[in-house]
Structure 1
Amino acid sequence: MAVRRSAPSVPRHRALGMSNTHATSRILPLGSVDCHAHVIKMGLPLISDRHSQPAREASVEDYLSTLTAHGVTYGLLTAPSFFGPNNEVLLDALRLSAGRLRGTVTVQPDISEDALADLQSEGVCGIRLNWVKRQAIPNIHSNEYQGLLGKAKNLGLHIEVFLEGEHLPPVLAAINASGARAVIDHFGNPGGSDGIRSEGFLALLDALEAGNTWVKLSAPFRLRGSEAPALAAKIIQQSNGERALWATDWPWVGHEDKITYPQCIESLFECVPDEAIRNRILTKNAHEAFGFGS
């Protein structure tokens, strides 16, 4: 069973994003969730086949302060690819967050169910498959990965996927077939300016309609030519707004000096102009997907 954490107390003036001069003028509903961010400690070993690397430290204290300054109650930390299966920085952050943060971890596929349950008891709610920018992706149909999907289903952990859209259909199909919940990063990462009509994005839309898949409206600056508002409109239409999530990708590895938190909030308002749907994405959808607020 997922660990349930009580809602933290956030002062009303700070929850409205009025605590400092860097706060956005947009008001977010109480209980809002940023569903994708990273904490980073410099000087740790990095895996050899990484596709990115950190430029600076990003502490949990900095992230929590950023959330509060912009009226965001909760955050979902995602294991950065360059640390591989070393999740200690993320786990330390969860311990220090007083229930405001949950996390997805990177693990070896042969990890035991007991070890996953131990991680879950510390606030972990999912397993990340970061398979982007690889010459060949792992075999999701192998015994090890089928076993991992089965363990995730048993424990109620979601499977978070970051992958090029053109490689997504068989991976998404395997996760859905296992009964585990799928959470897809960054609009499904479709390729090219016509990505909205691509096979991968259409497969994502089908999975959303089937009901056991969520997708993050996150990191439009990482898209490969597609327009974020158009993708968001299709995602919302296909799921009646019920399985879209919002995230910032803080601290924007590789784009640290180009993106700001208010810009990420403005992107959400651009992608989702309907207030009722936007508020559902910020609160109810994320609470249901990751166990926040209960």
Structure 2
Amino acid sequence: MEKTLPEGACNAHCHVFGPRDRFPYAPDATFIPETDAPKQALYALNDSFGLQRCVVVQSSCHGFDNSATEDAIATRPRDYRGIALLPTAVADAELRRLDAAGFRGVRFNFMKHLGAATPLDEILALARRIAPLNWHLQVHGDPAIVTAVVQTLATGPVPVVIDHIGRLDASAGLHQPLFQAFCRLLDNPKVWMKVSGMDRISKRGPPYEDAQPFARHLVESFGDRVLWGNDWPHPNHAGPIPDDAQLVQLIGRIAPTVAQRQALLVDNPARLYRFGDL
């Protein structure tokens, strides 16, 4: 892999936490970070790797108060975008306000440790309201249920992005029924996949050689609908916290050609998140 990433490369999945004295954590949060992860630390990390663009995903530790994410976008409005956490009854005026602030979608969690799941009919109703904004849905879920969730949500009017290679078990191999089910979902042009989270699906640890084939297959087979992110600062991680420099280096293994990296890091994020429109 070249020493530098392509111009306009995007870290399409990361978070900011706090600082808690300015952006308090939600009283009913399912987890509270041990340490803050403020926007300045995120900027420094991305800048050190040549990741010009970034998508900040609202974390459940801040609940429906998207202020920390909004603040991180506001400082770099041309190159940073956000994904919100929102109640499905959110007002249309608030959706329009968030759109003007740089948000481009809504994330829904289907992981037990992150609280009760939102009913799918409510999410589909919200999808019809965010469609005029050219937003999308983002799904983070238990692999036992997320394929059915995405199949239902993909009947709606907006794209659906699956987080972290579906959180499947890499040790079960490429031919496992779950991965084949994800690939069938990706035959639908409205479904996207984040090839972030190799560290979360690996059973071997770094450099995640059991997980690399999944990301590589997705890049090769669905190259116009894949996105990469490092998931900094790696919340609720069960194993050793990944080395972000190594995650960047591994891009060359999962996207070995210049054309693949251009699509993964530049063209796909630009299309989905509408960079440069503010």
Instruction: State the SS of the aligned residue for 1:269.
Output: helix
- CA-CA distance at 1:42 after TM superposition: 4.3
Report the equivalent of 2:18.
41
| 1:164-207, Cα deviation, whole Å (9 max, x unpaired) | 22211221112210021111111111136216444443332123
Q: Does 1:280 align with 2:263?
A: yes
Deviations 1:52-109 (A, max 9, x none): 4312122212212221221111000000122211111111111112422100000001
Contact 1:37 1:250 (C-alpha < 8 Å) held by counterparts:
yes
SS in 1 for 2:101: coil
* SS class of match (2:18): coil
Once the two structures are TM-superposed, the CA of residue 122 in structure 1 deviates from its matched residue by 0.5
RMSD: 2.4
| Cα distance in 1, alignment partners of residues 173 and 116 from structure 2 | 21
User: Of the candidates 69, 72, 76, which is equivalent to residue 93 of structure 1?
Assistant: 72
Q: TM-score, normalised by structure 1?
A: 0.83
SS for the counterpart of 1:160 is strand
In structure 1, the residue matched to 2:161 is 183
**C-alpha separation in 1, matches of 2:212 and 2:13:** 19
Q: Retained in 2: the 8 A contact 1:103–1:126?
A: yes
Whole-angstrom CA distance in 1 between matches of 2:141 and 2:201: 12
Aligned match of 1:250: 232
CA distance in 1, matches of 2:137, 2:269: 15
Contact 2:170–2:211 under 8 Å retained in 1: no
Residues 164 and 270 of structure 1, relative CA distance in 2, 3 Å threshold: same
Query: Any conservation in 2 of the 1:153–1:178 contact (CA below 8 Å)?
Result: no
Residue matched to 2:7 = 30
What SS class does the counterpart of residue 64 from structure 2 fall into? Answer: coil
2:158 maps to amino acid:
A
Deviation sequence 1:187-246 (CA, Å, 0-9, x none): 11113621644444333212322211211111222116493211113212331x111111
Q: 1:218 to 1:120 in 2, by over 3 A?
A: same
Q: Is the 8 A contact 1:158 1:181 kept in 2?
A: yes
Q: Matches of residues 185-224 of structure 1 in structure 2 within 5 Å?
A: 185-191=163-169, 193-194=171-172, 196-223=174-201
Tell me which of 253, 258, 265 is aligned to 1:270: 253
Structure 1 CA distance, aligned partners of 2:142 and 2:105? Answer: 20
Which one is further off, 40-49 or 53-62?
40-49
Q: Distance in 1 between matches of 2:275 and 2:246?
A: 24
The alignment covers a number of residue pairs equal to: 267
Flag the 1:284–1:293 CA change in 2: closer, same or farther, 3 A. Answer: farther
In the superposition, the TM-score normalised over structure 2's length comes to 0.87
* Counterpart code for 1:238: S
Give the distance between the partners of 2:29 and 2:99, measured in 1 at CA: 27
What is the aligned-residue identity percentage? 23
CA, structure 1 residues 205+68, in 2 after alignment: closer, same or farther (shift >3 Å)?
A: same
- Going from structure 1 to structure 2, the CA distance change for 1:69 and 1:190 (only over 3 Å counts) comes to same
Contact 2:198 2:211 survives alignment (8 Å): yes
Return the alpha-carbon distance in structure 1 between the equivalents of residues 276 and 77 of structure 2. Answer: 13
Please tell me whether the aligned partners of residues 16 and 69 of structure 2 are also in contact (alpha carbons under 8 angstroms).
yes
The 8 Å contact of residues 104 and 136 in structure 2, kept in 1 or not, is answered as: yes
Distance 1:100 1:26, change over 3 A: same
Counterpart of 1:215 in 2: which secondary structure? strand
Listed as ranges, the gaps of 5+ residues in structure 2 are none
Distance 1:219 1:164 in 2: 14
Preserved contact between residue 166 and residue 198 of structure 1 (Cα < 8 Å): no
User: What stretches of structure 1 of length at least 5 have no aligned partner?
Assistant: 1-23
Distance 1:201 1:49, change over 3 A: farther
